[in-house]
Structure 1
Amino acid sequence: MAYIVTPDHLSAIAGINTPLMPPLAEWINKICPTYEIDSPQEYAHFLAQACHETDHFKTLREYASGRAYEDRADLGNTRPGDGVRFRGRGIFQTTGRANYLQLGIKRGHRDMFINTPELLEQPEFAVWSACEYWRTRGLNDTANHPDSDLLKKKYKGELIDVSPVEFISITINGGYNGMDERKKNYAAAKRVLT
């Protein structure tokens, strides 16, 4: 039997109530199990990250303009305006032309998100894009490690020891941005879901 995530769960994790919670819970329940994100432990990690990236489930679009991503070839932003056009969207804040293109290819419509990047602000695609990212990075395996485990993670050219929540946070964000809040969200999600 699949685990069900409710808007009340999201509210308890975030510490607030937002209009996005009911549609997000609906799509989380429809999409996450198809990506084998289906245990309370996996959901705790997944939702802790989503809570941080969406400012406590308040937005599916990055607040910043995206200008900082201009000329970021590592994100595939090679054309003028790409940084703004392909700024972070979705519950994991998918960023950059290359990532938007890859998502379109996975949907079977190569330019789907290139032509209409705002689609990633719709709850269905916001959740789906995060599930794709989660699966391609093998994060279920990490989520199922005991919290006390230390895992090896390459970061800035060095192999470091990190906890599962740190490993997942660095994988999703590329660094330690918001790490304390991500850990707090994870602790709240564990209390609520397990």
Structure 2
Amino acid sequence: MSDHDYDSWKGLFPGTRGSTFPRACVGRQGTGIFRPAFPTGSAGGGNPLPGSWPGAGLFAAAPRFSLTLNDIGLVNAKFLCALLPRLSLPRAESFVVPLNSYLAKYRINTIQRIAAFMGQVAVESSEFCKLVESTYYRDAAHLRDTFPSAFKTAHAADYIKHPEKLANFVYAGKNGNGDEKSGDGWKYRGRGLMQLTFRNNYSAFAKDTGVDAVNHPELLEEPRMAVYSAAWFWNETHLNSYADRGNFKGLTLRINAKALVIMTVSTTGSAPWRC
């Protein structure tokens, strides 16, 4: 949701060429570790799970395990590690209970919905490794490309290697944030699996859930609240309906519109680091 977190509607799980994470590519054109799942009791030669929509093969990471229609809510750590190569098993385990709880709470409970959700949050959180937005930039040109409207007149060079100053500048006066001096840009920068951003969003989340995210936004940097805030935002913006229709472009527009026009992240080959 933050301005500099990139994605593409071709994304993680549409199964189209140019998928963000080729190793986790799914669907008919996918070439990664996933293949179509088969109903419980099938020997693997029956019909795949209903539909040929993008992401249909997400929940069968052979040969270690398979999630079918009867247990698709049972996300486990091995599944997360297979899906997200950078994610270590101990860290994956910290997300299992929150994911199963909040996916159920917000009815992200079909293969289409879970595939779409996991695809989006994996990109927004750098495969569950970054639960708070970094506004540390080393290069002025990159900074201008990321926030073009903010630097039409301001000098980007004045903000490189100054993450707090940058956040307070580029997010000032937006969606409930105060001016630069208020510090709201830094305080309410992106957090959680969906990178919830801006005071208004933190306030709405707090009001609906009782989590004091306004006074303690750092709570969203913990796995449970990182998942909770992401699933809450998904529900608030009615993204299940987009997933049901396979409308990945529309879904990404609701989460991070800039992602469609700026760039597509590519992580080919082995993951360079783990978390």
Taking structure 1 as the reference length, what is the TM-score of the superposition? 0.75
Q: 1:7–1:21: 8 Å Cα contact kept in structure 2?
A: yes
Unmatched tracts of structure 2, length 5 or more: 1-69, 136-162, 268-275
* Residue of structure 2 in register with 1:30 after alignment: 101
Matched, 1:131 2:231: yes
> What is the RMSD computed on CA atoms of the aligned residues?
2.2
Deviation at 1:131, TM superposition (A): 1.1
Q: 2:176–2:200: 8 Å Cα contact kept in structure 1?
A: yes
Correspondence 1:112-151 to 2 at 5 A = 112-146=212-246
Deviation at 1:61, TM superposition (A): 0.8
Unmatched tracts of structure 1, length 5 or more: 147-163, 185-194
- Quote the Cα distance in structure 1 between the aligned partners of 2:265 and 2:94: 24
* Residue of structure 2 in register with 1:161 after alignment: none
AA of the residue aligned to 1:174: A
Deviation at 1:68, TM superposition (A): 3.4
Aligned length: 164
Deviation at 1:69, TM superposition (A): 5.0
The structure with the greater share of residues assigned to helix is 1
Q: 1:17-76 deviations in whole A, cap 9, x for unaligned?
A: 234321112210011111000112111110111111111111211122363354532321
Deviation at 1:107, TM superposition (A): 1.8
Mean Cα deviation higher: 3-12 or 35-44: 3-12
Correspondence 1:1-194 to 2 at 5 A = 1-3=70-72, 4-18=74-88, 19-64=90-135, 65=163, 67-70=166-169, 71-79=171-179, 80-108=182-210, 112-146=212-246, 164-176=247-259, 180-181=264-265
- Quote the Cα distance in structure 2 between the aligned partners of 1:53 and 1:100: 17
AA of the residue aligned to 1:103: F
- Quote the Cα distance in structure 2 between the aligned partners of 1:120 and 1:98: 15
AA of the residue aligned to 1:172: I
Deviation at 1:139, TM superposition (A): 0.7
The structure with the greater share of residues assigned to strand is 1
Deviation at 1:118, TM superposition (A): 0.5
Residue aligned with 1:20, SS: helix
Identity of aligned residues (%): 30
- Quote the Cα distance in structure 1 between the aligned partners of 2:174 and 2:217: 18
- Quote the Cα distance in structure 2 between the aligned partners of 1:8 and 1:181: 24
Q: 2:168–2:183: 8 Å Cα contact kept in structure 1?
A: no
- Quote the Cα distance in structure 1 between the aligned partners of 2:210 and 2:93: 28
- Quote the Cα distance in structure 1 between the aligned partners of 2:130 and 2:85: 15
- Quote the Cα distance in structure 1 between the aligned partners of 2:127 and 2:210: 31
